[in-house]
Amino acid sequence: AQKVTQAQTEISVVEKEDVTLDCVYETRDTTYYLFWYKQPPSGELVFLIRRNSFDEQNEISGRYSWNFQKSTSSFNFTITASQVVDSAVYFCALSEIQGAQKLVFGQGTRLTINP
């Protein structure tokens, strides 16, 4: 069975600090997708990134970066120079590559950026 664990329930930092959100997953599949979604106070989940298990290259997008390590089954997300607008609940998720690609979500990490 697939499982995603986000051990950090809540994180609070001061604006401009860097912050890393941890994600550890379990799957028996040899190929899979990993995702990060952001849920701002408005409630709608916003897609941030999808990573194919074939590709272990780290990715950077502006202040956001993702570190995928297959050897430790981790897909961590770092925000550099955090801003108040980054405050949200962040979800890591895993899906199969075939079929409907059902998502298995972690518990979520509530990130609060204080001014």
Q: Give the interface with another protein as residue ranges (CB under 8 A).
A: 4, 6, 9, 35, 37, 42-45, 47, 50, 91, 93, 97-98, 100-108
CB of 13 or CB of 45, closer to another protein? 45
CB of 18 or CB of 40, closer to another protein? 40
Smallest gap from residue 28 Cβ to another protein (A): 16
**Closest C-alpha to 4, from 112, 111, 102:** 102
| Side-chain half-sphere exposure of 112, counting CA atoms within 13 A | 5
Smallest gap from residue 51 Cβ to another protein (A): 11
CB of 83 or CB of 107, closer to another protein? 107
Smallest gap from residue 71 Cβ to another protein (A): 25
